[in-house]
């Protein structure tokens, strides 16, 4: 089978290990691997090339993706999707493995309905906001990057007796903020999924400050859009000198962690095996140390929920 792999949307650490394993496994089982460079934009522009072992040598440790990625406005127009189909036909590619989020899976589903090009999705985003999988590719590395940043910020916060408000990525999902706050011992965590009880937090923190607390870490998920408000609250209500750190795109980069390398391998192999089983329009998921697939409609039709055991631990000041 001729199978192409592509990235789409925000990149995440672990894409390169997945791409490497994709090529190796295809060649091991007699498939022909192809790269689509530059995501949907590259597909429209015909940036498609046969892949070899040499292409994936020396990439296992690198963040980002050697095949690139993009968000494409042109994809919304049918004429560009038709052009993409013509490009694929030139190489007789039968299926696409897409490393992306649910927007990317939707983009390929439109393509499937118009041109019958099958696809398998690999959930790839640091946001961990895809239904049906306990982890998306890239989340573990991003969490380690955030932990490292917060540890460093704690050093200066404690030395200087300041409050730090640290904003994490994640779009509408508070997973990165919630897990980071827990493992970093932050005092405050504000995420879209949970109502932040400012009044109670004020009382508890004022009591702690009166007892001698000298610094404070507050983790705020970008999706809440409350970073500035929380900083003002620390400064004005709690009376602490406050600084804000928006972690930004450093969360997306860096060498993939051990977990993300292993996830990349597993996701890639399961995607190819799913194609061999004749599966269509499915997404690889990872739960309880096992890879399997779910129907596209189920994955995009339901909303990811942060596990209750994580949410119930967000009771910081106990
Ligand atoms: O979806 C991944 C992500 O990094 C989000 O966490 C963030 O909101 C967004 O992408 C940033 O997008 P861009 O890289 O286009 O600024």
**What stretches of the chain adopt beta strand conformation (E)?**
2-7, 32-36, 48-50, 95-100, 118-123, 163-168, 188-190, 216-221, 242-246, 282-287, 290-295
pTM: 0.97
What are the structure tokens assigned to 214, written together?
A: 């000298």
Atom from ligand 1 closest to the CA of residue 9: 1
Atom from ligand 1 closest to the CA of residue 249: 4
Longest C-alpha distance within the chain, in Å? 72
127 annotated active-site = yes
252 CB less than 6 Å from ligand 1?
yes
Ligand 1 atom 2, closest CA: 10
- Full pLDDT tens readout for the chain, 318 residues: 999 999 999 999 999 999 999 999 999 999 999 999 999 999 999 999 999 999 999 999 999 999 999 999 999 999 999 999 999 999 999 999 999 999 999 999 999 999 999 999 999 999 999 999 999 999 999 999 999 999 999 999 999 999 999 999 999 999 999 999 999 999 999 999 999 999 999 999 999 999 999 999 999 999 999 999 999 999 999 999 999 999 999 999 999 999 999 999 999 999 999 999 999 999 999 999 999 999 999 999 999 999 999 999 987 544
Calculate the CA 279 to chain-centre distance: 24
* Domains in the chain, CATH or no CATH each: 2-138+256-303 (3.40.50.450), 141-252 (3.40.50.460)
Number of neighbours of residue 59 by Cβ within 10 angstroms: 17
What are the structure tokens assigned to 118, written together?
A: 């099958």
Ligand 1 atom 12, closest CA: 10
Q: Which of 102, 127, 129, 140 is catalytic?
A: 127
Q: Say how far apart CA 165 and CA 230 lie, in whole Å.
A: 7
């Amino acid at each position: 089978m001729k199978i192409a792999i592509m990235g789409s949307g925000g990149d995440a650490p672990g894409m390169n290990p997945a791409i490497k394993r994709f090529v190796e496994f295809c060649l091991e089982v007699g498939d022909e691997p192809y790269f689509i460079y530059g995501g949907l934009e590259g597909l429209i522009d015909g940036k498609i090339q046969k892949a070899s072992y040499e292409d994936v040598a020396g990439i296992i440790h690198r963040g980002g993706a050697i095949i690139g990625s993009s968000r494409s406005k042109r994809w919304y127009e049918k004429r560009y999707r038709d052009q993409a189909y013509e490009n694929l036909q030139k190489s007789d590619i039968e299926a696409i493995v897409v490393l992306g989020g649910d927007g990317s899976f939707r983009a390929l589903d439109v393509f499937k309905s118009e041109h019958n090009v099958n696809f398998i999705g690999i959930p790839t985003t640091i946001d961990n906001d895809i239904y049906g999988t306990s982890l998306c590719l890239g989340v573990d590395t991003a969490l380690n990057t955030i932990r490292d940043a917060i540890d460093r910020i704690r050093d200066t916060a404690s030395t200087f007796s300041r409050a730090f408000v640290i904003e994490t990525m994640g779009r509408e999902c508070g997973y990165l903020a919630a897990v980071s706050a827990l493992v970093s011992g932050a005092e405050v965590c504000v995420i879209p999924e949970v109502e932040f009880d400012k009044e109670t937090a004020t009382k508890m923190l004022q009591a702690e400050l009166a007892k001698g607390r000298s610094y404070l870490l507050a983790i705020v998920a970008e999706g809440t859009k409350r970073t500035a408000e929380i900083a003002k609250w620390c400064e004005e209500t709690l009376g602490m000198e406050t600084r804000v750190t928006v972690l930004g795109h450093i969360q997306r980069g860096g060498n993939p962690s051990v977990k993300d390398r292993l996830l990349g391998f597993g996701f890639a192999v399961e995607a190819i095996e799913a194609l061999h089983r004749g599966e269509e329009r499915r997404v690889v998921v990872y739960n309880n140390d096992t890879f399997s697939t779910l129907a596209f409609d189920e994955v995009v039709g339901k909303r990811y929920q942060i596990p209750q055991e994580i949410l119930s631990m967000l009771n910081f000041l106990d």
